[in-house]
Structure 1
Amino acid sequence: SLCLELLESISFDEQGTSLETSVAQIKALGVDVEIDDFGTGYASILSLLALEPKRLKIDRQLVFPITTGQSQRRLVASIVEIGQALGIEVIAEGVETLEHARILRDLGVDAFQGFFFAPPLDNEAFQRFARERRWVEQFDVNADPPVAD
């Protein structure tokens, strides 16, 4: 499968219909379209409606402070709600801790990306990582945290 990531830092609204036409042609080929770094650029709700991306990736700068700030948590929750309302999968970038993962899960985020799960891996390291499956137990966001003795 192939996915094209459009950085939110480009202004979708200023591109006119040419961007919409190009994205529609790419999607017609079976290529998924994602909006990357959402929350840091210029995408409007109207551009999301026009482009109909498959996924929306919330930028790590918005994700990181959700463990300490209620306003940041509400902002991320709002982005998740927009994604859900438009039928767009929501991915959180910059998931660094189990607390991040649990909060994001509770907010309804569909998938997580970040060093909490693994650093960037080359092909061989990724295959080993996937085969060993230690991450399934180690990073189970549904499990209760360990109790200190």
Structure 2
Amino acid sequence: MKVEYKATSKSEGLLVNAFQRLLDGKPLHVKATGKLTLNRINKEAQLGNSYIHKFKEFIAYAKPVINEYNLNRDKVLKVGLAIELDATFSDIDKLKARLNKANALKGKYRVERDNAIAARKQLEAENSTLRFRVFDLQQELLEQKSVLTQIKP
């Protein structure tokens, strides 16, 4: 969607450029996700708090466009798509997705590690009991050898 508004001042030009970036899904100063509002346009233009409200003509132009944009966005979300088809993921969203995937893998590997440690401890315990049993049997064998004496024919 193209912004068809003629700016009359530098600040208004900043608002128009910020509005266009937000509609394109490529903001520089705010998140790309979420509903479009006058406040987001103001923050994207890096103007002071509520500075956008000084430009009544711009607000009159922007409000119907914002409502249409948000309505289309809501329709897409209700259909079940998580993103708009023409919108691209921002770098932050990509990094968040990678972080979530890495955290899921860490959790999976942590469980596998804990299971392996528990199995190793069980094997060590069984190994030590078997070694002790071998030692006992060797002691019994030595005792029996000392008791046994050869009888001469």
TM over 0.5: no
Higher helix share: 2
Greater C-alpha Rg = 2
* TM-score, normalised relative to structure 1: 0.21
Write 1 or 2 for the structure with the bigger share of strand: 1
